Amino acid sequence: MSGNIELLSTTLAAARAEDRAALIAYLPAGFPTVDGGIEAVKAVIAGGADVVEIGLPHSDPVLDGPVIQTADDIALRGGVRIADVMRTVREAYEATGVPILVMTYWNPIDRYGVERFTAELAEAGGAGCILPDLPVQESALWREHAEKHGLATVFVVAPSSQDARLATITAAGSGFVYAASLMGVTGTRASVGAQAQELVGRTRSTTDLPVCVGLGVSNAEQAAEVAGFADGVIVGSAFVKAILDAPDEAAGLDAVRSLAGELAQGVRKR
């Protein structure tokens, strides 16, 4: 079975055709439970998310700030496994038809086996992977199997990336480019900053892939700001925090659905 890279591409193109940015939501698998995490993904999609990234919880999440680290810890203590990540992808995709990616560090895939991981992700209906710590020059094996199974390979670029490096990264990637808005870890912030707009411009000069911005967006106003210059707005910590702050699971689902609705309006006010 082939993965859903084409669905991802057409979804991002449809948002562009509507003269807006896509809303991309991030939630970790297994948080607050496996079943609860699946319902949370469905809730953000019901609220207006166009694409969802499922985080594979990791014990050493170098890109993630304290909010997502807390959620990962809850998921890991709950015994989440890669099989649960695949189940989350499968059930979310089958219920919604929305492109679902996995965001993961390289070590779990390396241990699990690249062929096994890509085959299972494609079979689950996944659209691809975001791999923040896989160097492009070491990615040939991954890209070979991802391409074979119809999966996107999304690399992360940062404000520190030099132009030549950007060109190397974007030439190797597919689906979209994940532009980190600043140097640092994930988390909500008061402002996204001018660095992100400059990075998007420099990245676009190297590729026709959509450029989507993450790290720091937490409300409709910030989403509208980023949507003014990016093809997609990626929001993670704000959704996770909404669940962490909720008194119970039902309230958490209501909170993420509501937040997705506000952000979906934001990306339409570019």
Which residues are identified as catalytic? 53, 64
The length of the chain, given as a count of residues: 270
